[in-house]
């Protein structure tokens, strides 16, 4: 038994690409915008445990971090679109 919830297996590449695709469509980002999609354990007690973080690297603009509550393979397109549209999810 692992302490503190242990670790989940890493989501496969197809799940990452799916989430990235949703983010690209929601934000209207073209191929010149680089993105990374990661899953982390959220330390905030209000979090559901896992959080998906999308870093958006658009040339000439600050990096934007978008957070979606939930594991990468459990979130949906609507949740990603809502996070992209929320100014508070911006960071840098």
Specify the pLDDT at position 90: 47
pTM for the predicted model, two decimal places: 0.81
CATH fold group of domain 10-89:
Double Stranded RNA Binding Domain (3.30.160)
The answer to whether 51 touches 76, Cβ cutoff 8 Å, is no
Reported as a single tens digit per residue, the pLDDT across 34-82 is: 999 999 987 778 776 899 999 999 999 999 999 999 999 999 999 999 9
In three state form, how does the secondary structure of 35-76 look? EEEEEEECCCCCCCCEEEEEEEECCCCCCEEEEEECCCCCCC
What ranges do the domains of the chain cover? 10-89
Specify the pLDDT at position 10: 72
Q: In the chain, count H helices and then E strands.
A: 2, 3
Query: Long-range contacts of range 34-37, CB-CB < 8 Å, 24 or more positions apart?
Result: 37/72
Higher pLDDT, 47 or 91: 47
8 phi and psi angles, rounded to 5 deg: -90, 155
Cα distances (angstroms) measured from residue 76 to each of 5, 19, 32, 55: 23, 8, 24, 17
Specify the pLDDT at position 8: 62
Going by pLDDT thresholds of 50, 70 and 90, the confidence category of residue 14 is very high
């Amino acid at each position: 038994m692992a302490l503190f919830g242990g670790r989940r297996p890493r989501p496969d590449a197809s799940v990452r690409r799916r989430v990235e695709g949703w983010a690209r469509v929601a934000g209207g980002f073209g191929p010149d915008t680089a993105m990374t999609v990661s899953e982390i354990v959220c330390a905030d007690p209000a979090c559901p445990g896992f959080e998906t973080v999308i870093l958006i690297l658009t040339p000439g603009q600050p990096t934007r971090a978008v957070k979606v509550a939930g594991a990468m393979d459990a979130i949906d397109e609507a949740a990603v679109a809502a996070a992209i549209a929320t100014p508070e999810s911006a960071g840098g």
